[in-house]
Amino acid sequence: MAGSRVGIIGGSGLLEALGVAGQAEPHVIETPFGPPSGPIFTMELDGVPVALLDRHGAGHMLGPTRVPYRANLFALKVLGVSHVLACGMVGSLREHIHPHHLVIPDQVIDRTYRRPCTFYDDLVVHVEMTEPFCETLRHVLSEVAQESSTGKVHSQATYICIEGPSLSTRAESRMYRTWGGDLIGMTVMPEARLAREAELHYALVAVPTDYDSWQPPLSTAPEAQNTAHFQNRRVAIANALGLLRRSLSRIASAPVQCHCDSVLALGIWSDRSRISNEVRTRLRPLIGKYLPPEVV
């Protein structure tokens, strides 16, 4: 971890929620995939170098389909990020996963269909996704949760990622339960897959705010539903960011013992002699250690 940063990807108001507004240095990064969601802010948080990114941009103006996931992960890689802790709101598909709880998912079912999902349009790369989240990071988050008063934290769950922006029908929500889904959300894919393609250690703390549509709400009054949702959201996000912050020093000091930072060693299937110098240069932050630009 020496000399590396931990990236934190969250929702709107991330700097304010962490209490570091005005203390961080903004970076506007140009990438081959366009601009990221917004400036990336770097600073030291509790003695650990971090890079903070608001997934939906200033004012929450980018819906889940329009989030520039490729630009976001590429920019974090350029800034020297090696580990990414993400936070995102979800609906619960299980009775035992209550709003206010936190969840560290270990599996994903990807139902998105309108999002660019790879960096490698100009060569063939197959990354291993059996375990879509970094097991090292998940273990650290689970350990820290057990040692602190974070509240109930579930250390395993399957996240169903839908395209959005509309929420599920009740029939869809019930179907996802039969698939083995425990959570439903709109942002973990292709974010987790791109993190793997960029050889970043990536884990998510999911924040359930309701029971999705499979379970009727406790109140049929829209005002009461909205009040409960925002109360759950406020408490759960505060708990999630507290868990992420308490995990930083452990992540910075713990040795990395997983394959996330070397998946491309076996993942590049294209004939390397046919990969152009332009592609090698454009994607250098991702593939430079395997395919350095040729000297001409």
- Positions marked active-site: 210, 212
Exposed/middle/buried for residue 173 (C-beta within 10 Å: 0-12, 13-18, 19+)? buried
CA distance 118 to 110: 14
Residue 56 marked as a ligand binder = yes
Q: According to the annotation, is 186 in a ligand binding site? A: yes
Q: What is the Cα–Cα distance from 220 to 242, expressed in whole angstroms?
A: 32
The answer to whether the beta carbons of residues 187 and 55 sit under 8 Å apart is yes
Distance CA 180, CA 159 (A): 9
Residue 176 annotated as lining a ligand binding site: no
- Cβ–Cβ contacts within 10 Å for residue 260, how many? 23
Q: Which residue, 237, 251, 247, 188, is CA-closest to 16?
A: 237
Q: Per the annotation, does 187 bind a ligand?
A: yes
CA distance 258 to 279: 28
Is 55 marked within a binding site? Answer: yes
Secondary structure class of 110 (helix, strand, coil):
strand
Whether residue 213 is annotated as binding a ligand: the answer is: no
Please enumerate, by residue number, every residue annotated as part of a binding site for substrate: 186, 210-212
* Binding-site residue positions: 12, 55-56, 186-187, 210-212
> Known binding site for phosphate: residues?
12, 55-56, 187
